[in-house]
Amino acid sequence: MGSPAGAPAKRARSEGSPDPRDTDRGDRCAWNTDKYKSRLWDTERLCQHLSRCGVGNPDLLRRFRGTASALAGQGPGPGPGRGVDPSLAPAESGVTGRMLLELPACAPEVTRVCCPAERLEVLACLKQLPEKHMDVLKVFNDPIHGHIEIHPLLVRIIDTPQFQRLRYIKQLGGTYFVFPGASHNRFEHSIGVGYLAGCLVRTLKERQPELGITQRDILCVEIAGLCHDLGHGPFSHMFDGRFIPMTRPDLKWKHETASVKMFEHLITSNKLEEVMKSYGLVLEEDMFFIKEQIGGPIDETACEKSWPYRGRPKEKSFLYEIVANKKNGIDVDKWDYFARDCHHLGIPNNFDYKRLLVFTRVCEVKNQKHICTRDKEVGNLYEMFHTRNCLHRRAYQHKTGNIIELMQVFQNNVILVLILSQTRITEAFQKADKYFEIRGSGGKVYRISTAMEDMEAYTKLTDSIYLEILHSSHPELEEAREILCKIERRELYKFLGETRPETKKEIVENNSLSESIANSKPEKDPPDVELKAENFIVDVINMDYGMKEQNPIDKVHFYCKADPSKAVNISKEQVVSKFLPITFTEQVIRVYYKSQDPNIISAAKQYFIQWCMQNDFTKPQDGDVVAPHLTPMKRTWNNVRDDEHRRTSEPSCKQRLPFHE
């Protein structure tokens, strides 16, 4: 049972004006405001509130009061002559506003002043309180989830510069240059995750009251879902997946780390501590809980302990599997971005998270509670991971979207003079670096590669840097501006093709790959063109079902209809369908070349094919790499295994000609 949601008063009551508590709506709004601090209400104040809300009959409220005068039979309260045990009605019952915020944990304290037959009635009445305050929740019209109601505290978080920053960060980065519909941002995704997090935790609370989920728990889970992506940089995963590793290769940095720091900065800079307290949160515990849901255990030695988290005890371990599930990857973050990305990309989404909500419950596994799914939903979960893989293949790892992001990364390396030993820096680009100074706290200046060290500076870092460079008139930005103009004109680096290792050897992306291709000059009819290693771009892509080579379903716990309290595992062999994947990971190597000259591109493709043959990779696919004059002899590419691979691969509108001897 949670506290009724309310909204802070928009202006202070002037002297002589009527007290808002004198009206039903005023009292409802007063529940969670800073001014009235409802969590500190004493018994008398609480009973007045319950009476105005129409919860509980007069006799019940008098029993809640239980004053000394009532015990003596001198007042309206129940006295000994009315058959009330004085031990159940002390001079002050002690039922306070704080207890309502912490139901059902405080249910014994709330109901101890009631007769046993009345206790269920009391709890049922108190459970109605949130429904009587729905008019103060803010409604968002979301294209994915429809009209969704957001708690006032979440609205206060949304209405901050740190959260509004997410409006200007594309959810899919460079994919927008390929899919015109992929214009959505981290802002709406974060709101959707916060909403779904609340849906899941409330479903568990209603289905299993014995879990002891409180309103504090629900609010903290919703906040974690809302704020889980605060730390993303420009063009989302381009920043932490490509830009930072290239500019600061020794830095082990994740956007989740920045999300935790940005959340702390959001709360302190907007002075939301007291607002959080007014809604029943205990800052010392709940701040830890929220941050742990976003970034994992905060204590560096936590992994050595049996229970690494500080925000919630081990009995509530399942709460850490809602926003970011480290166990098996089934969480509300994926539920939202699957639905939202498919909607904007125009790709069908066959996964139904609403059905999964219906068949989700908590079971105990090895003395720890986990979120489990009904056994018959195993096919729906495979569909979820298949949707993830499909999105990566068709959109997230699109060859054109990737090269645009790579071109942006290379541009940033040169123009912003970020520390890279191999980057050729000139005096002109050093001046350009100064142009992009970002001022943080205390007036300190940061670069793009260091802005995440100061959250005030990082708040200013969004996708807007793209347009700043594109529309700049500074001479020192000419080269960077030209790169972005080429992107606008679609003059991109040429795609030579993609290949895969025939064996299970793992290819690591580094400069030696480009050098290796540049040294793979064809032995037969070599092209009369000199190709430089620095012009070859090798993009190594690892695609899987979320857990590398492991089947993620092996990490999922299920329950059966016959015994819903017992968790079981379902192996791949137990699933009847024959359409399940044999392997759950795949590595793709894509090669580009920095030139628009057809003769040079033709020569580069021959170098690439020679490199594939020397390293026992699969036949290059896609692009124009399968043209007749680029098909040298390779017996192993004509065997049965390759033919089967061709038949089972994705269809392509481009003709794939067989290799001839």
Catalytic residues: 255
The verdict on whether omega for the bond into residue 104 sits within 30 degrees of 0, i.e. cis, is yes
Amino acid at 603: A
Vertex 423: Cα angle to 418 and 426 (nearest 5): 80
Quote the CA–CA distance of 204 and 195 in Å, as a whole number: 15
Sign, Cα dihedral of 386, 388, 391, 396: negative
Chain center to CA of 381: 18
CB neighbour burial string for 574-608, b if at least 16 within 10 angstroms, e if fewer: eeeeeeeeeebbbbbbbbbbbbeeeebbebbbbbb
Give which of 318, 342, 341 is closest to 330, Cα–Cα: 318
> How far is Cα 36 from Cα 54, in angstroms, rounded to an integer?
20
In our burial notation (b when 16+ CB lie closer than 10 A, e otherwise), range 322-340 reads bbbbebbbbbbbbbbbbbb
The region that residue 446 occupies, defined by phi over 0 for left and psi between -120 and 50 for alpha, beta otherwise, is beta
Q: Which residue type does 48 have?
A: Q
Residues composing the chain:
661
Task: Please state the three-class secondary structure of 117-159 as a single string.
Answer: HHHHHHHHHHHCCHHHHHHHCEEEEECCCEEEEECHHHHHHHC
SS3 466: helix
Task: State how far the Cα of 241 lies from the Cα of 243, in Å rounded to an integer.
Answer: 6
Tokens of 237: 């995963």
| H/E stretch holding 167 | none
Tokens representing residue 445 in the block: 């200046």
The structure tokens listed for 403 are 């090269």
Widest CA span in the chain? 112
Q: Which residues contact 68 (CB under 8 A, 6 or more apart)?
A: 91
Contact 82, 72 (CB under 8 A): no
Residue located via tokens 């005068």: 69
Distances (CA, A) of 216 to 2, 37, 323, 626: 8, 16, 16, 60
d(CA 95, CA 352): 43
Which residue, 405, 464, 408, 413, is CA-closest to 438? 464
Q: Which helix (H) or strand (E) holds 496?
A: strand 494-499
Q: Is there a contact between 151 and 226 (Cβ–Cβ < 8 Å)?
A: no
In terms of C-beta density within 10 A (0-12 exposed, 13-18 middle, 19 or more buried), how is residue 660 classed?
Answer: exposed
